[in-house]
Structure 1
Amino acid sequence: MTRLTVTQPLLPPLEEFIPYLQRIWDSRILTNGGPLHQELEAALCTYLGVAHLSLFTNATTALMVAVQVLDLDGEVITTPFSFVAGAHALRQRNLEPVFVDVEPCTLNIDPQLIEAAITPRTSAIMAVHCYGNPCAIDAIQAIADRHRLKVLYDAAHAFGVRMQGRSILHAGALSVLSLHATKVFNTFEGGAIIAPDAGTKARIDQLKNFAMKNETTIEEIGLNGKMSEVHAAFGLLQLRYVDDAIARRAAVARRYREALRDVPGIECLPDGAQDAPNHSYFPVRVQSPYPLTRDGLYEMLKSQEILARRYFYPLITDFAAYRDLPSADPCHLPVAVEAAREILCLPIYPALTDDEVSRVIDAVVQPLHRVPHRGEHASPF
């Protein structure tokens, strides 16, 4: 039986990659902002509808540099329902994440709870467009403006997402994309920061190159976050196929929605407010009266070689590095705690065939016909 994973990287024809590699061999430039790196930055600016973009070796490094560029201190309000990279980037800069709960529908940070978490030590809000669904951008910015805070968006899932005809990457002071292999658009490993102006981009580019101002001058602490020419080459090839990839993801998502709409206890999350979703993930809530718990369904699917994922479980606030923070108390995060127990992301990627989609759907529906005890297969966590 073919193993189905929650996602699978888009790999264009290998023969189309060879000419890009030949260009690298001919130039003998492997890194340090070479011609393919510059070409990909320009191409992504055009595709995404942004003016300034800096490529990175990965999104975690990009988040670390973004935090440094914004010169944050003290506390940063953020979400517990996300991948841990954002919180790590804050702690790497000796900042304290302050976790607030999420909205039930979008699972994005709840603006109504942000204001109550602001203290004299708060310097910023770091929000996450969860599953690529836009945060309440206007409400968050209004709060930030009232309290003179900066807003940083972890837009790891949000490649190509548009709202009201405009890229959501314009929101906030900076936005950070992930170009990891699991994402809609990937460069094997990679990340990017979207900057509002040329001066900010120049500072970002300097910091990702050891903060070298020139051959003899370093005035602050930087790191090595440069994307290689091989990764940039793959990105240029990927860009040819990304629209078709998103269209196929949309078709898979439609199949799931139509087939699971009337399944008791399986709730498909809404697409959100965007007018150009990218279908990064397909999350469902597993609730009563579905006969299995979320973990029970997860284990049952795994037994059939369908590797769904519990994004995001555990919560960031459940990890030892964060659970002792006052804001990590589960009592303050009831919506996120419930989501971490209920959300399961089903396989979705361009190479997923119609028959494989049907196989996933059949597997989800199957427990309805045998009605086991709801605790069956449940994780002990």
Structure 2
Amino acid sequence: MKIAQIAPLAESVPPKYYGGTERIVSYLTEELVRQGHDVTLFASGDSLTAAELVPITPAALRLTPNIVDPIPYHMMLLEAVRQRANEFDALHFHIDLLHLPMIQDFIGRTVTTLHGRLDLPDLPPFYRCFGDHCLVSISDDQRRPMPPVNWGATIHHGLPADILLPRYDDGEGYLAFLGRISPEKRPDRAIRIAARSGMELRIAAKIDTVDRAYWENEIAPLVERHPNVRFIGEINEQQKAEFLGNARALLFPIDWPEPFGLVMIEAMACATPIIAFRCGSVPEIIEHGCSGFIVDSEDEAIDAIGLLRDLDRKLVRGAFDARFTAARMAADYVSLYHRLPGARTDAAWLRRQRGEDAELQIVA
């Protein structure tokens, strides 16, 4: 198929540091190319891809200091897509909701993956207004707050099978926290769990401007108070494999309806088990007693640390291989593209490539 992938502009594809959505867009795009599809990626100009890149901005907006308002640049993105929309058999958006009024003329060939939380009061009336557009959830739990809409599928994220290689020993034996410093991610829980268990905790995390006060007033003093806690800061993809692979377990002590939680499957790819609180997508991702432990309190998390010795790290990696590869994710999306009511078939694309007349073909 000839497929357009439309990415946010906040980060490059893939991102240099933190950026879950852009990372998934990258994994999906590269796997679709590997599988033989003709893919065009609309993204920031510093993105790296085997697909055709349509650069909207010279660099990712988050790393461009003079960018104040991201909206004009996303309007430029939508105009670039509009100008080329007729070229594609399917158009896949990853930018939440800005595009929905624009795509009505070719809505039958479009799908939007919702990467964020949906329990916000302004979202239900918006999605009721655009109830005919095909949406993808990244977990079943993510759907719960939404009104009845046109759900095309739940498609869990996936990673390239060889991007994070497993380690089957216990590495350096520390607990890991990876992600963002924010109240809903609950690094304070991670610190208390480590302090009570007596294990070292290493925190590799991004601090957004909006969370700077939370870090300075609440988390930084906890880090200073506990000598077994180390704050490393934001790490890149190359550092992630070593950071997760050397850990005895990943702590995922969230306190919000996590739509997916990419770090959980990154840990699984490294054969590192997860101790996660029962929120959002966690029960869909973790197989309790196999890839980690699902807990409901800090006391249960400390008990789970004592059970880590009973987990076979090869089974943790096996759970990843069975459910969370990029190949599986791409196959799920291609299946959905073919089910779109206005999708053009591979045969139509081949005729267009040969310069023959190609009428729109409807896939039943």
TM value normalised by structure 2: 0.30
RCO higher in structure (CA 8 A, sep ≥6): 1
